[in-house]
Amino acid sequence: MPTLSLLDAALFLLESPDRHFNVGPLVMLDPPPRGRAGFADRLYARLRERPAGPPFTFRLSRPALGIPALEEDPDFDITRHVHRITLKAPGDLKQLAEVVGKLHQQPLDRAHPLWQFYLIDGLEDGKVAMFGKMHHGVIDGRTFVQVVSNWLALSPRQRTVRAMWEGLPQRAARAPARVAPAERVLRALGQAAGMASTAGSLYRMLAAQALGAVAGAKAKSMMVPFTGIPKVLQGPASTKRSFAYCTLPIAEMKALAKAHDTSVNELLLLALDLALDRYLDELGTRADKPLIAAMPVALAGAKGGNQIAILQFPLGRPGGTAADRLTEIRRHSASVKDVVKREDSATVMAFTTLVHGVPALLEKLGLPAVSVSNMVVSNPFGLPQKRYLMGAPVTLALPVSVVNAGQSLNVTAVTLDDQLQLAFLAIPGAVPKVHKLAQYTREAFETLKHALATPDAPKHRVKPPAGRAGKPPAHSLSSS
């Protein structure tokens, strides 16, 4: 029976009506002209025939001792989880977004495995969408990418139609061993001892952050939680969500990253930083100090579904050049990586649970939540080749993530073939017209390419152009 980590358990305990921790993919298929008629019917029938596998067969259990765990659902029924929706033709992206937005925020029934899947047809041009969601306490972003990779085919000629809920290939299953009551007590005591040791390490980590704040820019420590966060992109909790996306060219990003001895992820942060500077300027709320990003970091040796920490660090200084901002982003992200290497996984996960648990708990008590960061930026790998399902090319495989308490914007990046797809999920009251931010991010990358073209590029403040002809547009999907 899989045990949930401290972070996994917190995702269940801190859920509220305004913040459900559901994550999953929105996949768009473009059926070939031959066979387009009836494509959705055939696909739906074949998907429902596919078996389910872990973790899609797990439900939540509450043992008498220890933290919650997952167990196999003996009454698993695929009809509770797989559904068909037909939009009022001709369905467009806005109509699709309204449906997905409402589905995404609906709570999952904890009496059964914590996922749902919807095949959506009625879209214009005969396209078919698939939206799946699963509780984030059961699966992390990296594992979900593996699930999607296992689901979608590498060739249009592949005859086997797999399903999202087949999960990942499993080792030969063993019958669960019976655990005596005395052993349960010993395990619980061991958990308590481990938590006490982790608490000591956590205090040391927080003390190092406080000392780092006093020491200044040269200190190799992260920022003190809840401090130094510009009062932008903030607002009250809400069930409303807006969604937009854009794409960036992976080959160009890799070439530029190599030329400047940086990473694709740091270039992504730079593009977002420049785009937000322009976006906030138009809103009349430009920050007077660096924006704060929260970044999920994979942890080695951590146990439980979510083997990550979410750590905060500043981006570039307002008014700085692209090169200057990149230097600051690299330095701050290096500090985060240094902390992850220095501290054990349990300590860093406890830090994440503490920092993100405070605003969530305040919201559950009906109090204003403190801000954790201005946004979350995640890049959980992706699909480096073209993908297909029942012969139809996958044109989009967008992640639909969560907006945590203390934040109003989530940006999640997933690779598909030669494009880096960026999904922007926001609370519209705090981040209005999020489609503009997606558009400006695409244009900011075009600008920073030229600004970083040579090491001796003139150091002027980068202001992205109003738009470029021929560039892929950003797309907006809004729901309320």
Categorize the per-residue pLDDT at 268 as very low, low, confident or very high, splitting at 50, 70 and 90.
very high
Asked if pLDDT for residue 429 goes beyond 80, the answer is yes
Asked if pLDDT for residue 221 goes beyond 70, the answer is no
Structure confidence by residue, pLDDT tens digits, 321-372: 999 999 999 999 888 888 777 777 777 777 777 777 787 788 777 777 788 8
Are the beta carbons of 360 and 405 closer than 8 angstroms?
yes
Calculate what percentage of the chain has a pLDDT beyond 90: 46
Per-residue confidence (pLDDT) for residue 53, from 0 to 100: 93
Q: How far, in Å, CA of 361 to CA of 369, rounded? A: 8
Q: How far, in Å, CA of 448 to CA of 274, rounded? A: 9
Per-residue confidence (pLDDT) for residue 478, from 0 to 100: 52
Among the residue ranges 159-168, 260-269, 323-332, 374-383, the one predicted with the least confidence is 374-383
Q: How far, in Å, CA of 450 to CA of 402, rounded? A: 34
Asked if pLDDT for residue 297 goes beyond 80, the answer is no
User: Radius of gyration (Cα) for the chain, nearest Å?
Assistant: 23
Strand pairing of 409-416 and 375-378?
Answer: parallel
Asked if pLDDT for residue 119 goes beyond 90, the answer is yes
Count of all residues that appear for the chain in the document: 480
Categorize the per-residue pLDDT at 133 as very low, low, confident or very high, splitting at 50, 70 and 90.
very high
What residue spans define the domains of the chain? 6-166
CATH class of 6-166: alpha beta
Structure confidence by residue, pLDDT tens digits, 65-106: 666 788 999 999 999 999 999 998 788 888 888 888 889 888
Calculate what percentage of the chain has a pLDDT beyond 70: 78
Q: How far, in Å, CA of 233 to CA of 238, rounded? A: 14
Per-residue confidence (pLDDT) for residue 65, from 0 to 100: 60
Q: How many H-runs (helices) and E-runs (strands) does the chain carry?
A: 10, 16
Structure confidence by residue, pLDDT tens digits, 39-65: 999 999 999 999 999 999 999 887 666
Per-residue confidence (pLDDT) for residue 261, from 0 to 100: 92
Residue 293, burial from CB neighbour count under 10 angstroms (0-12, 13-18, 19+): buried
> What backbone phi and psi angles, to 5 degrees, belong to 288?
-100, 5
Are the beta carbons of 442 and 408 closer than 8 angstroms?
no
Per-residue confidence (pLDDT) for residue 467, from 0 to 100: 45
Return the structure tokens found at 94.
């806005």
CA 309 distance to own-chain centroid: 12
- Across the range 390-401, mean pLDDT stands at 93
User: Distance of CA 286 to CAs 68, 280, 326, Å?
Assistant: 43, 5, 19
Per-residue confidence (pLDDT) for residue 223, from 0 to 100: 62
Provide DSSP, 250-279.
HHHHHHHHHHTT--HHHHHHHHHHHHHHHH
- Across the range 255-268, mean pLDDT stands at 93
Per-residue confidence (pLDDT) for residue 416, from 0 to 100: 94
User: Distance of CA 424 to CAs 135, 258, 284, 287, Å?
Assistant: 19, 26, 21, 20
Mean of all residue pLDDT scores within the chain? 80
Buried-state track 430-460, b at ≥16 Cβ within 10 A, e below 16: bbebbbbbbbbbbbbbbbbbebbeeeeeeee
- Determine the residue type at 137: G
Structure confidence by residue, pLDDT tens digits, 158-208: 989 999 999 877 543 333 444 444 444 334 334 434 434 434 443 343 444
Asked if pLDDT for residue 217 goes beyond 50, the answer is no
- Across the range 468-477, mean pLDDT stands at 53
